[in-house]
Amino acid sequence: MRVIDSHVHFPADKIIDDGRGEPLPAKSSTDSGWEGTPLTGNEETEKMKQTGLSATTGKATILTGGSVPGAPSPADPWLRQEKEKWLRAWRFPKEETLSREEAKKRWLLEFERYPYLERVVFVTAGGNNFAAELAAAHPEHFLAYAHHDPLLPDAVERLEHAVKVQGLRGYKLLAPSIDRRIDDRSLYPLWETAQALEIPVLIHFGIMGGAGGVANHININPLSIHDVAKAFPHLSIIVPHFGCGYVFETLQLCWACPNVYIDTSGSNQWMRWMPYELNLEILFRKYRETIGAGRILFGSDSSWFPRGFTHAYLDEQLRAMIYVGYLESEIDTVLYGNAARLLKLS
């Protein structure tokens, strides 16, 4: 067995690069036509909170929601219970606070611990510059995506720089943290650039953060990217977590747009909140019989240590594929082949 984990977050102070502390060369003569403005510190703090990150440590947390109007405090007893339930269910250890260098060393040790793990793709790392540094230092194991705010006025130039100069392999976005319709025409230069660069764009849709997080937003439905996927048919769009609560909408999107892929990442705890019975076997069966194994990518959504690479998620997903009847060749396609193809690995 060989595995590319196509959805990993390097422990960092922020999940989306807000552009501060990430200088670029002088802006090119290309006019993106944007009217967006950079995030202020307060806006970035709020968005980190909404995505399940601490605004001070950047560490993933299940107790979120204090920044959402009308949401319960993170100290709410029910939220505490939900976090404790999640930790008990997966038997995860208590999170450690690590320096960048120590976290990097820990990730390298994961390849010794799990010989089948060939590469991890850091979809976020706190900033494009550090993501590029990670990937360049250990190209045999580490790949990384750009993950800057698409509403930055130089977002197009940043993406070109990230791919052409820094060697990043894709672009990661959180749709429910983008305060503009994701299919707005002002963002088309960004999609056009990604398509021309031949990189995949991974966009989180659906509920975001742990219990108490975000459940309503203009971009929360995967179908919000429908017109973009139609307008840019050679742009590979990856929807993570099987659609994260929007299974019907994600399937409809996949039916309409063959350039849309699915990633399997995380614990997929959102399944508990569906109004009908759902589990990994059902999801793997349904997506296989509709879009086929060739459009499904394995991911773990791993982040903090000492948990590291979340092999428990891999075990559950592998078991589901086997019980559903995936052929060995299909399992290899999901765990390795599709990511290798989209990321142009030799």
CB 207 within 8 A of CB 214: yes
- How far apart are the two ends of the chain, measured CA to CA in Å? 18
What does pTM read for this prediction? Answer: 0.86
pLDDT classification of 29: cutoffs 50, 70, 90: very low
Least confident of 206-220, 282-296, 327-341: 206-220
Mean pLDDT of 38-48: 31
Mean pLDDT (whole number) for 134-155: 97
- Measured between alpha carbons, how far is 110 from 131 in angstroms, rounded to an integer? 18
Helix axes 280-290, 311-324, angle to 10 degrees: 60
Measuring CA to CA, how many Å separate 27 from each of 32, 154, 230, 259? Answer: 11, 8, 30, 31
The pair of structure tokens assigned to 22 is 């990430």
Residue 46 placed within a domain: yes
| Residues near 99 by beta carbon (within 8 Å), at least 6 away in sequence | none
Can you say how many angstroms the Cα of residue 238 is from the centroid of all Cα atoms in its chain?
Answer: 9
Domain range spanning residue 257?
3-19+39-342
Query: Order of strands across the sheet with 3-9?
Result: 3-9, 117-124, 142-144
Look at residues 256, 247, 257 and name the one whose alpha carbon lies nearest to residue 287: 247
Instruction: Render pLDDT for 161-199 as a digit per residue (tens, 0 to 9).
Output: 999 999 999 999 999 999 999 999 999 999 999 999 999
Is 34 within a domain?
Answer: no
At residue 122, what are phi and psi to the nearest 5 degrees?
-80, 105
pLDDT in tens, 293-340: 999 999 999 999 999 999 999 999 999 999 999 999 999 999 999 999
Token pair of 150 as six digits: 């698409």
Task: Look at residue 27 and tell me if it is in a domain.
Answer: no
Q: What is the pLDDT of residues 105-117, one digit of tens each?
A: 999 999 999 999 9
DSSP state of 337: I
What is the per-residue pLDDT for 73?
Answer: 63
Residue 209: CATH number of its domain: 3.20.20.140
Q: Which residues contact 153 (CB under 8 A, 6 or more apart)?
A: 32, 34, 35, 36, 37, 38
What element of type H or E holds 290? Answer: helix 280-290
The pLDDT value given to residue 211: 83
Q: What is the 3-state secondary structure (H, E, C) of 152-186?
A: CCCHHHHHHHHHHCCCCCCEEEEHHHCCCCCCCHH
Cis peptide before 306 (omega within 30 of 0): yes
Q: Confidence band (pLDDT; 50, 70, 90) for 257?
A: very high
**Which are the contacts of 117, defined by CB distance < 8 A and separation ≥ 6?**
3, 5, 110, 111, 309
Assigned domain for 29 exists: no
Which three-class secondary structure state does DSSP give residue 336?
Answer: helix
Domain presence at residue 172: yes
Per-residue pLDDT, averaged over 43-60, amounts to: 34
Q: Residue 126 burial by CB count (10 A; 0-12/13-18/19+): exposed, middle or buried?
A: buried
Predicted confidence band of residue 34 (pLDDT cuts 50, 70, 90): very low
Residue 293 lies in a domain: yes
Report the pLDDT value the prediction gives residue 45, as an integer from 0 to 100.
Answer: 33
Could you give the CA distance from residue 123 to residue 120 in angstroms, rounded to a whole number? Answer: 9
Residue of 276, 297, 282 lying closest to 341 (CA atoms): 297
Report yes or no: 117 and 107 within 8 Å, Cβ to Cβ: no
Q: Indicate the burial class of 75 (C-beta count within 10 angstroms; 0-12, 13-18, 19 or more).
A: exposed
Say which residue, 267 or 39, is predicted with more confidence.
Answer: 267
30, part of any domain: no
Query: Is 50 exceeded by the pLDDT of residue 28?
Result: no
Q: What's the chain's average pLDDT? A: 86
Q: Is residue 228 part of a domain?
A: yes
Tell me how many domains the chain contains.
1
Q: Apex CA 228: angle with CA 222 and CA 230, to 5°?
A: 100
Contact present, 8 and 122 (Cβ < 8 Å): yes
Instruction: Identify the residue whose tokens are 């509920």.
Output: 207
